[in-house]
Amino acid sequence: MRSVAWNGTLLASGSMDKTIKIWDTESCDCVETFSVPSRGVFSVVWNGAGTLAAPAFDTIKMFNFVERLTKPESAAGQDA
């Protein structure tokens, strides 16, 4: 792992294995994994709008997580 960034809800990690992983900090589960076609991810940075910037060796990838962050939680598994 080369870099981590936390936005209050999700943790993003970037690695030299060419992956970006998104972790739910409450459940500690990896909820997304992205592969980037480069020689590795040097850093990950959240902005205030829910977008993740991930500079890699030869490109910058942008991921928008606004819908994921604002989507209401499912009622499944909750007490009625």
Whether 77 is in a domain gets the answer no
Domain count along the chain:
1
**Residue 37: what pLDDT?**
77
Q: Report whether 34 contacts 19 (CB < 8 A).
A: yes
Q: What is the spatial distance between Cα 2 and Cα 13, in angstroms, rounded to a whole number?
A: 7
CATH number at residue 9: 2.40.10
Could you report the per-residue pLDDT of 8-32, keeping only the tens digit for each? 888 999 998 988 999 999 999 999 8
Q: Report whether 27 contacts 55 (CB < 8 A).
A: no
pTM of the predicted model, to two decimals? 0.72
Q: What is the spatial distance between Cα 28 and Cα 9, in angstroms, rounded to a whole number?
A: 11
Whether 39 is in a domain gets the answer yes
Whether 20 is in a domain gets the answer yes
Domain housing 45: 3-68
Whether 64 is in a domain gets the answer yes
